Structure 1
Amino acid sequence: MGIIALVFVLAMAIGIPIAFVLGASSLYYFVFLGNIPLSMIGQKMFSGIDNYVLLAIPFFILAGELMNRSKITDALISFSNILVGRIPGALAQINIVASVFFAGITGSGVADTAALGSILIPAMEKEGYTPAYAAAVTVASSVIGPIIPPSVVMVIYSMATGESVGALFAAGYVPGLSIALVLMILAYYYAIKQKHPRRVEKIPMKQVILTLRESIIGLLCPVILIAGIFSGMFTPTEAAVVACLYAIIAGKYLLKTMKWKDVFESFRGAAVASAITLMVIAMANLFGQVLTLERIPSLVADVMLGITRNRFVFLMLVNLFLLFMGMIMDPGASVLILAPILLPIAISLGIQPLHFALVMIVNLNIGLITPPVGTCLYAAAPIAKLSIEKISKAVLPFVGVELIALMLLTYIPELTLFVPRLLGYIY
């Protein structure tokens, strides 16, 4: 495994996409080190994506594409302005609140950064915010996207561990809102310290009603989706399809902001994004087979339990490890490789599986805004016209408060388990 680790690190260092890093490392093992028929490579890759639950991923991505092209983003920003526009640092607060609403549509941090950032980063700069601060607020709040359902990473976690998608979705609300709250507190602090502007004039009632009407059309999408899943009316995959149909109807016939050309472009964009995600899943499944053949899960378990059998210390070690992994690897790939290894250890120490799932998911998603692999940083850089280094420096205080929220979620399990318990997923 030392050779495999070397191949893995070298491939990552020269900037090869994570799917091909996993594939190259696995291929090296099977060809030169393993006594396994090469026909297993194709079989393991296909079996990794031959899962009904994973059908939800392309449809969730498509729903996000359709909602974005139907200008729902503009309505959500206007709605957020009504809610928090008079708080100091108004545009920063709007950015964070809009991310909460947008999370219920896309389930993707990068989509959040691209859609909201393209509107709010220039708007914040125009209002006198520095480009680095505007980009930092945008990327920091984009972490909320994959935590508040629907979430692509949660679907992948469900496939990797067998945990209920509905239970994971239910557990995501409080962590997501907790991160939004700490970000808003920090934005308020900066607004007072740096005298950031806020809206002082009242919005005419006619405009409020119009904004509410348009935003409700967008917000109904996640409501229908989540209500359907929690009520048992349809599965997560069926819910994703319903979300797509609703997005087309809303954009084409209710808001009348989308043409058939936009629908077809959404299908094309979703196909590309889905192909990338499913390629990562296929390669991660192949790499997982290498780890299994080399008995890495049992080795990691022995090492972890050799260090400590205290679940609080174990959670701290896992936090540090996952934060590091989030810095160098895509969250989806990390979940597929690490969840089957770490979850049995957590269960053996008496940690509730659903609680551990959210600790892991929040940890890895913070990696979306930390270099060198932080994909949200790369999405924000061209919008803000800044280097990755400048945005990374500006986002550090926001990462700090997100880590505070992570610690609270880690050591107060009921923050995560309250909603699933309320809905009957756990007792």
Structure 2
Amino acid sequence: MTAFLLLGVFSVCVAIGTPIGTSMCLASICTLFTTGMGFAMVPYNYYASLSKFLLLAIPFFILSGNIMEKANISEKLINFAQSFVGHIKGGLGMVCVIVACFFAAISGSGPATVAALGSIVIPAMIAVGYKPGDASALMATAGGIGIIIPPSISFVVYTSLVGISTGTQFMAGVIPGLVMGAALVVASLWVTRKSDLKRLPKASAKVRALAFKDAFWGLMMPVIILGGIYGGIFTPTEAAAVSAVYGLFVGVCIYRTLRAKELLAVVIDSGRQAGAIMWNMGNAGLMAWVMTVSGISATITHLLESVVNGHTLVFLLIANILVLIAGCFIDGNSIMYIFVPIFMPIATALGVDLYHLGVVLVMNVAIGQVTPPVGCNLFVACGIGGIQVADIVRPVVPYIIASTIALLIVTLVPGVSTLLPTLLG
């Protein structure tokens, strides 16, 4: 009865257009009130969900990505990638994915990656012959790489729940992110194989060298962040703060594109984004607690254990299906709070590598960012491309299929995730 009430209120709230975080809050409060469980633990639960030192990395990574966006680093990265592959047919599609991988190592957020790159890449793709729907769909899907290649806000949330090394989890996401990028490049070339696309002039060695020089400071951002973490110089949270300071230095002193009045707007916007994420996470933590104390989580876990029956592959496939479906309606960080406590006991019992599980879950979340009706990347890309969501639903299908194939490869071959942690750990 409690499960039907909780999920019923949540479903109704989502159906009438209530924001996800508020829907989880209302569902939890209604359940607590109706079952007589009381509200005494609500403030303590919010505090327990959010008062973790590791989670300080989230607002800093958001601030860092926004600063680098305002510093026009995205444009310089695009020019750099374009100088190498822009002359190939479908080259701008490749540029879209390549630069998304680069910017993923700066922002840690899918929507931020789409917003930073889309305003430049989507019009450029349309200008050489891409259909607006195809260009927006590719950009939206490529933006999902932003939460797979480190640093990743979703990985920060996952490791804070599981209690494993964030640096090692970051390392585990590198190769899977590149695998998804490669899958999207292949899908883009296949989609445009019959299109009459214009080719850009082939850049000379001198032009490529100048493009590299111009993009150098942006390319150094992931080197500083990841090098500092893996070199033991600072923690992931400290790395997030260092990246924000470095972005400020590059924007003000190197590129000189960031002014004081713009910086204030960046800080306010970053605070707004961080607040929205924390609101969702706090409510997801509350909903997860209600599910735990009411026995819903234990019931689901026991049901999954009986279905899985000791088969690791079956467990991973079921986890993929559940999270893919949830990704159509719930944001990624909320998914972590709700599903990780359910999956953890089963994964531990089966001997599933927790870093591999983290990568699988986050790749599902990345795909969820482009699956209607709540695919946040879709809405950002549609706004930039000047199209309606209905215009992007069909063009995004090949890219969702390509991303799902990449997900299956990573799911079936754990070594894709564990290779770098094993070699460098």
Equivalent pairs counted in the alignment come to 422
The answer to whether the 8 A contact 2:64-2:243 is kept is yes
Q: Which residue of 2 aligns with 1:252?
A: 252
Corresponding residue for residue 236 of structure 1: 236
Q: Post-superposition shift, 1:245?
A: 0.7
Partner SS for 2:203: coil
Aligned counterpart in structure 1 of residue 17 of structure 2, from 15, 18, 42: 15
1:108-148 Cα shifts (integer Å, max 9, x gaps): 11011111111111111111211111111111111101100
Does the 8 A contact of 1:89 with 1:190 survive in 2? no
Q: Distance in 2 between matches of 1:45 and 1:215?
A: 42
User: Residue in 1 aligned with 2:272?
Assistant: 272
% of aligned pairs identical?
A: 34
Matched ranges for 1:156-175 at <5 A: 156-175=157-176
Displacement of 1:263: 1.6
Q: Does the alignment pair 1:127 with 2:119?
A: no
Deviation at 1:370, TM superposition (A): 0.4
| Equivalent-residue separation in structure 2 for 1:244 and 1:231 (angstroms) | 19
Q: Residues 170-212 of structure 1: CA distance to partner in whole angstroms, max 9, x if unpaired?
A: 011011000110111122223332232322x232444333321
Q: Deviation per CA, 1:208-234: give whole Å up to 9, x if none.
A: 333211211001111101001111110
Q: Deviations over 1:43-81 (max 9, x none)?
A: 111221111000000000000000000000110000111
Q: What's the counterpart of residue 47 of structure 1?
A: 48
Amino acid in structure 2 at the alignment position of 1:19? G
Distance in 1, Cα, partners of 2:202 & 2:120: 22
- Residue in 1 aligned with 2:313? 312
Comparing 305-314 with 218-227, greater Cα deviation is found at 305-314
- Change in CA separation of 1:84 and 1:205 when aligned onto 2, cut-off 3 Å: closer
Alignment of 1:19-30 (within 5 A): 19-30=21-32
Distance 2:327 2:202 in 1: 43
Equivalence for 1:356: 357
Alignment partner, residue 282 of structure 1: 282
CA contact (8 A) 1:53 1:236 kept: yes
Conservation of the 8 A alpha-carbon contact between 2:70 and 2:258: yes
- Aligned residues of 1:8 and 1:25 also touching (Cα < 8 A): yes
Cα distance in 2, alignment partners of residues 109 and 285 from structure 1: 22
Q: Which runs of 5+ in 1 are unaligned?
A: none
1:214–1:255: 8 Å Cα contact kept in structure 2?
no
Alignment of 1:118 onto 2:112? no
The superposition leaves residues 293-339 of structure 1 with CA deviations (integer Å, 9 ceiling, x where unpaired) of 11222211211121122111221111111110111110000011111
SS at match of 1:192: coil
Q: Is the 8 A contact 1:147 1:176 kept in 2?
A: yes
Query: Which structure 2 residue ranges, 5 or more long, are not aligned?
Result: none
Query: What residue identity is the alignment partner of 1:88?
Result: K
Give 1:187's aligned residue: 188
The answer to whether the 8 Å contact 1:70/1:258 transfers is: yes
Q: State the TM-score, normalized to the length of structure 1.
A: 0.96
Using the TM superposition, name which of 218-227 and 86-95 deviates more: 86-95
Partner of 1:202: 202
Moved more, 132-141 or 84-93: 84-93
**Distance of 2:84 and 2:152 partners within structure 1:** 25
Q: Please identify runs of 4+ aligned residues in structure 1 that moved more than 6 A.
A: none
User: Does the 8 Å CA contact 1:96/1:183 hold for their aligned counterparts?
Assistant: yes
Question: Are 1:5 and 2:19 matched, yes or no?
Answer: no
CA distance, structure 1, for counterparts of residue 107 and residue 204 of structure 2:
30
2 CA distance for matches of 1:91 and 1:405? 21
Q: State the superposition RMSD in angstroms.
A: 1.2
- SS state of the match for residue 144, structure 1? helix
